[in-house]
Amino acid sequence: MTYFEFGAVPYPIREDISDAYRAYWEKLAAPGTWWTGEERVAIAEETRNALTCRYCAERKEALSPYTFPGEHDHSGNLPELVVDAVHRVVTDQTRITQSYVDDNVARDLSKEAYVELVGIVVAVFSIDEFHRALGLPVEELPEPLPGQPSQYRPSHLSEDIGFVPTVPPEGAVGDEDDLWRTGFAANVIRALTLVPNALREWRAIAAVQYLALEKMRGWFEDDTRVINRLQMELVAGRVSAVNECFY
């Protein structure tokens, strides 16, 4: 059992949380759908670098993030275009536009690769913020595994929401039939479905940090949680407001 200290009192960290994090690092290290294992770990590394990037901090204060010159502080393991996408998702996501995503496509960062990148950033940032909130050091990134990405693309896609194609509500069939139950396809769940494994990886982390997808419609009491659903939603709402998540 892992513990963190609040004042002088040690509090246990649930085993399912630690298990989910270990499982994610294993998936991160392996080849993904559009990125190799080495590239996926490098994206995770840039997720952390973004928080100390001087250019990102200065651009955040600029009137327009698209006309502000400069260079990112980064590890040099990814092209500048990819570094910019990672850093922007971490530090200035509210000003991402359709034009920005389309311009990336024109510069060889496909929407599929971008969605997988976003999925990695969201997962790594979520795990790291958990550690930072408890005053714990972030975990070491895994050693990448060899192999090539699968380049799998769902057969049922729609462009009715957002900046990228997504699996439509009725499209969770065939290889995607595990993504959600019939009638439960909220847009926020669909957001990563151009790369279904990105949704699956995020969903496993969300299940331990927040709620499993199948429990989100019920105002339940769960013995594994120390706060009830109403308290969880109060915290979630406050965090969303602070992060300017207007969904």
What distance in Å separates the CA atoms of residue 105 and residue 159, rounded to the nearest whole number? 16
Distances (CA, A) of 159 to 49, 150, 190: 32, 23, 11
Residue 191 inside a domain? The answer is yes
- What pLDDT shows up at residue 1? 63
Residue 7 inside a domain? The answer is no
Residue 222 inside a domain? The answer is no
Residue 234 inside a domain? The answer is no
Task: Please say whether the beta carbons of 144 and 153 come within 8 A.
Answer: no
Q: pLDDT band at 6, cuts 50/70/90?
A: low
Residue 61 inside a domain? The answer is yes
Number of domains in the chain: 1
pTM: 0.93
Residue 211: pLDDT above 80? yes
Tell me which H or E stretch contains 3: strand 2-6
Residue 90 inside a domain? The answer is yes
In angstroms, how far is the first alpha carbon of the chain from the final one?
Answer: 36
- What pLDDT shows up at residue 245? 77
What distance in Å separates the CA atoms of residue 44 and residue 27, rounded to the nearest whole number? 12
Residue 230 inside a domain? The answer is no
| 142-157 mean pLDDT | 97
Q: Which domain does 21 fall in, by range?
A: 14-216
Distances (CA, A) of 72 to 51, 52, 147: 11, 10, 29
Angle value at C-alpha 85, between 162 and 124, nearest 5 degrees: 90
Task: Please say whether the beta carbons of 72 and 84 come within 8 A.
Answer: yes
Residue 93 inside a domain? The answer is yes
- What pLDDT shows up at residue 8? 66
Express as a percent the part of the chain with pLDDT over 90.
Answer: 74
